[in-house]
Structure 1
Amino acid sequence: MVVVAVAGGTGGVGKTIVEQLQLSKKHEVILLSRKAPTTLASGGAKIVLADYGNIEALSLLLEEHNVEAVISTIGFVGPEAAQSQLNLIAAADKAKPTHRFVPSEFGVWVDTNAAVFGAWLDAIAALRKTGLIYTRVINGWFMDYFGMPHTSSNLTTHTWAIDIANRRAAIPGTGNELMTLTYSVDVARFVVRMLDDADWPEVSIISGSDTTFNEILGLAEKLTGVKFDVVYDGEEKLRNGQATVWSAGYGAGPASMEETQAMIALFGLMSVEGRILVPQGNRLNGKYPDIRPIGIEELLTKAWTGK
């Protein structure tokens, strides 16, 4: 049993990881919080006040609780959050009992210098300069979004490309580009299992399903018995920032319609360019064959049959 500290553990991804850590009954879990705790977290996990602006205090906190591994799920909603993670990395490197670190990614493969990914790239650069064992968790797009509100999830509701509830779709590219979708609970299950290993690869790849938007659309129409209203946003349209948008917001907090359209266009281009498809090699699915992640057809069937 090791002590695992989860930063951002009350948010969607963080809460899901905490829940799976507790279900495993293998580790002691503490949640790092910017605000003074008022109650115990779900399942009785300990919440401790963390000053992300003070590296020395953070390091002492990790030592006080004998933290061996840090899992960061900090949401990058601004430069302050990104700096908080960098400070946490520095603190973990200083703390004597802390040897492992998972940075906040839990998404697509990032190998571009696009400004939107700056926080991720800065964290990777910082980790490479430390003595910490670390791994980046890459799982494509969260499958949860296509089952909401009928799929159990801690993630914030977000609709992109296919709006099953309203029987409509605005699909980027041709809709035949492959992408990877993984259910958040399955991502958390793999993360918990990784804690059993002494060494980690720099990148830990997870996949629930490799699929396409057209395949999801076909399944959704079959399950609901309704033909959707569908438009396709071609690559040129996306490069001009002219993605079809239904409402403001994209899952990362409040946003204007202009900001939303820019992000949806970026998501669309990532899909068209194959960036949401995770690499085929060295997926954790093969390393831990007893973990069977749910596939998109199974998730959609459970969520939308008869609805």
Structure 2
Amino acid sequence: MRIAVAGTNSLALLIAHYVVTETSHQIVVLARQAQPRLANQEYQVLIVDYGHQGSLQHAVMGVDTVISTVTGTPEVELLKACVSQRVRRFVPAEFEGRPSSRAQDDPLDQGKNTVLAWLEHYRSQIESTVFCCGVLYERFGPGGLAAHGLGLLTQRAQEGDYIVNVRTMRANAPVYDANHQLNVYICLTAAQDVARFVVRAIDMPRWPKEMTIAGERMTVWDMTNIVIRVRGVPLNNPIWHTPDSLRSDLLLAQTLRDGARIARAHDHIATVGGRYDFQAPGTMRTMSRCRDIVPLAFEAWLRSVWSTHPVSN
């Protein structure tokens, strides 16, 4: 089969890598501009214009499955091109919590609900599934998601934007639920493992509407304590949030017109609401075809990426 991966961020390239190394399928990478490094690695790269249907339709001609890591209007246009060219399957650029865990008027939407609505509209013409993996470990790595080319339009992609800054050991964390209990859970998965599970799903005869993957599930409180253990120093004046304090923080951020702080407050409120939580280890890890995949532990991953970076002020 011919598989197309849309995007050149780290997750897209990990998916392409595992298609090449773990399957016999052909892979093509859809990019907005030339990628000499990928070409040198003998990847087939097609330059596409997401504002031009002819360009997209040509790129997906003869493709069986498209895996998207682009968002917003470009993703909608890509989906329409896939339907036009009778592509059999489409994976939207979700890769977070379950869509059912967020509201229709989700302030963190970034066009995701629109794509899901189009997928529902086209359900008789193209099969799709959402891969739900919770929070990517990479949010807590050097440079945050932005260092991997992920979440660049969200105002939530920089180092330390979510829960804790591992470099400076400063935390602004939604640890308390509505009952003031340390009971706020998140699922977390490394991008590398997400890519492996996505590629393993390519040959499934049928796709459910969503598939869940949890490398680990833990409370936000326990996650911050893992950070302390890995770094070997206490947190620097941490702020421990309740739902009420988060709402107050959001109001202040809106008054100050601080876009990054507004996005963080919304993200933390959604975290308390269960946006990134689901039953672990997830539906994919219980499938016989995936049981040989042992996800990276969060603590081991954190040690590996921060081992050469000292704590700084």
TM superposition score category, shorter chain reference: 0.7 to 0.9
Partner of 1:84: 74
After superposition, the C-alpha distances for 1:69-123 in whole angstroms (9 at most, x for unaligned) are 101100x4xxxxx222111111111214x20100111112223111431511111
Q: Distance in 2 between matches of 1:244 and 1:221?
A: 29
Alignment CA distance shift 1:259-1:73 (3 Å): same
Cα 1:104–1:42 shift into 2, 3 Å = farther
User: In the alignment, is the contact (CA less than 8 A) between 1:50 and 1:58 conserved in 2?
Assistant: yes
Alignment match, 2:59: 61
**CA gap 1:239/1:51 in 2 versus in 1, 3 angstroms:** same
Once structures 1 and 2 are overlaid, which stretch shifts more, 290-299 or 156-165?
156-165
Match of 1:165 in 2: 167
Per-residue CA deviation, residues 21-48 of structure 1 (Å, 9 max, x unaligned), is 2222422111112235556446321111
Query: 2:261 is matched by which residue type in structure 1?
Result: Q
The answer to whether the 8 Å contact 2:5/2:69 transfers is yes
Distance 1:223 1:134 in 2: 39
User: What are the equivalent positions in structure 2 for 1:255-266 lying under 5 Å apart?
Assistant: 258-266=258-266
Partner in structure 2 of residue 94 of structure 1: 84
How far does the alpha carbon of each residue in 1:192-219 deviate from its partner, in whole angstroms, 9 at most, with x for none? 1011112111101111100122112222
Residues 1:121 and 2:110 aligned together? no
CA-based RMSD of the aligned residues comes to: 2.8
Amino acid at match of 1:134: S
Please give the residue correspondences for 1:128-147 in structure 2 after superposition, counting only pairs within 5 Å. Answer: 128-130=120-122, 131-147=125-141
Question: Match of 1:211, as an amino acid?
Answer: M
Q: Does 1:70 align with 2:66?
A: yes
CA 1:105 to 1:23, structure 2 compared with 1: closer, same or farther past 3 Å? same
- Mind listing any 5+ residue stretches in structure 1 that lack a counterpart? 77-81, 246-255
| Worse-superposed segment, 197-206 or 294-303 | 294-303
Contact 1:244 1:261 in 2 (8 A): no
Structure 2 unaligned segments of length 5 or more: list them.
151-157, 177-181
Task: Give the Å deviation of 1:55.
Answer: 2.6
User: Which moves more between the two structures, 296-305 or 283-292?
Assistant: 296-305
- 2-side partners of 1:123 and 1:276: how far apart? 19
- SS in structure 2 of the partner of residue 29 of structure 1: strand
Residues 17 and 192 in structure 1, CA contact (< 8 A), matched pair in contact too: yes
Quote the Cα distance in structure 1 between the aligned partners of 2:271 and 2:227: 19
State the percentage of identical aligned residues.
24
Aligned partners of 2:172 and 2:239 also within 8 Å: yes
Q: Is residue 37–residue 48 contact of structure 1 (8 Å, CA) maintained in 2? A: no
1:276 to 2:276 alignment? yes
Query: What is the aligned partner in structure 1 of residue 267 from structure 2?
Result: 267
Contact 2:213/2:282 (8 A) holds in 1: no
Cα distance, 1:240 vs structure 2: 3.3
Q: CA deviation at 1:298?
A: 2.5
2:233 is aligned with 1:231: no
Contact kept, 8 Å, 1:173 with 1:235, in 2: the verdict is: no
Change (3 A) 1:142 1:37: closer
Partner of 2:190: 183
Give runs of aligned pairs for residues 39-50 of structure 1, distance below 5 A: 40-41=38-39, 43-50=41-48
Q: Is the 8 A contact 1:19 1:42 kept in 2?
A: no
- Of 210, 220, 227 in structure 2, the residue corresponding to residue 220 of structure 1 is 227
In the aligned structure 1, how far is the partner of 2:191 from the partner of 2:257? 27
For residues 59 and 133 of structure 2, the distance between their equivalents in structure 1, rounded to whole angstroms, comes to 30
Could you tell me whether the CA contact under 8 Å between 1:7 and 1:70 is conserved in 2? yes
Q: Deviations over 1:166-207 (max 9, x none)?
A: 122111142541110100000000001011112111101111
C-alpha displacement of 1:133: 1.1
- Name the SS of the counterpart of 1:106 in structure 2: coil
CA contact (8 A) 1:108 1:138 kept: yes
Report SS of the residue matched to 1:67: coil
Return the offset for 1:242: 3.9
The letter of the residue matching 2:69 is T
For 1:125, give the aligned amino acid. A
Secondary structure, in 3 states, of the residue corresponding to 2:99?
coil
* Alignment match, 1:79: none
